[in-house]
Amino acid sequence: MTTLRQSPNFGPRRDGATPKFVVIHYTAMADCEGAIRALCDPVREVSAHYLIGRDGHCHALVDEAMRAWHAGAGAWRGITDMNSHSIGIELDNCGFSPFSAPLMDQLCVLLREIMARWDIPPEGVIGHSDLAPGRKIDPGPRFDWARLAREGLAIMPKPRIALAIDPPRFMTDCAQIGYHVDDLSLMRDTLRRRYRPHALGKAAPLDGWDCAIAADLAARFGVDRAGHVT
C-alpha cells in the first residue's frame, strides 16, 4: 500500500537529467512519522521520493520526475549532482537493527517498479555510503544487499579466490566501479561496509579479498577511449 504525503522540498531535475540510479538511505530516526515530518519540513530542506515504514507501508513524498533533496554532497561515476540523476528511497530504520521483513518485501516491489520505469540496471542501485564515503554510512552493515542481488535488484560480487594485495590496483578498480575516494583506508572500509560487513571495524589492513571484490566489480564496468568510466 502506498500513501501520498507530498513534501515541499523538491525542484526540477537540472539540465534535462533523468534518473539513472536509485539511492537507498536509512532514516536513523525513532519512527516513521518523525521521519515524514522531517522530510516534509521546508526548514530542513531534505526529502526523498519514497519512505518505507517498518510495517511495509510506502509513503510517496516527491514525484519521480522531480528532483528530491536526498543525496547531498558526493559523487558517483563522475556525477556530482546525484539528486538530479537519482531516485531516493528512505527506509525506516535506526541504523543498528535488522531491516524488518515487511519493509524489505515492499522495497523489492518498489525497486522492481522503479527500475522498469526508468530502465535502471541492478548496477544502478547504490547506498548513500557509496556516493558519500566518510560522510554517510547508510543503509549500513545490517542492510540485506544479498537479498536484493538474488532478486536481480542490485549487484553482489562473487570472487572465487583472494588476489594478491595490490593497493594501487585496488584503488584503480574502485574508481572504475564509480567511487570517488583517494584514501586507501576509507576506500577499504567503504567497500567492506557494503560487500563485507563482517570484516568492517576490525582495523584490518587491505587484504586479498578486498582486492578480489574490487576487481570482480570493476570487470562489470567499461572505460571509454578517453579513459572515462562509462
Could you tell me the CA-to-CA distances from 75 to 40, 130, 191, 202 in Å, in that order? 25, 9, 15, 27
Q: Do residues 48 and 61 make contact, with C-beta atoms less than 8 angstroms apart?
A: yes
Amino acid at 89: I
- 90, 113, 123, 151: the catalytic one is 90
Neighbours of 7 (CB within 10 A): 24
Neighbours of 54 (CB within 10 A): 17
Q: Residue 208: CB partners within 8 Å, gap ≥ 6?
A: 162, 163, 164, 165
**90 in catalytic set:** yes
Q: Do residues 61 and 21 make contact, with C-beta atoms less than 8 angstroms apart?
A: no
Neighbours of 156 (CB within 10 A): 16
3-state SS of the chain: helix, strand, coil percent to 5? 35, 15, 50
Neighbours of 160 (CB within 10 A): 6
Q: Residue 79 phi/psi, 5° resolution? A: -100, 125
Catalytic residues: 90
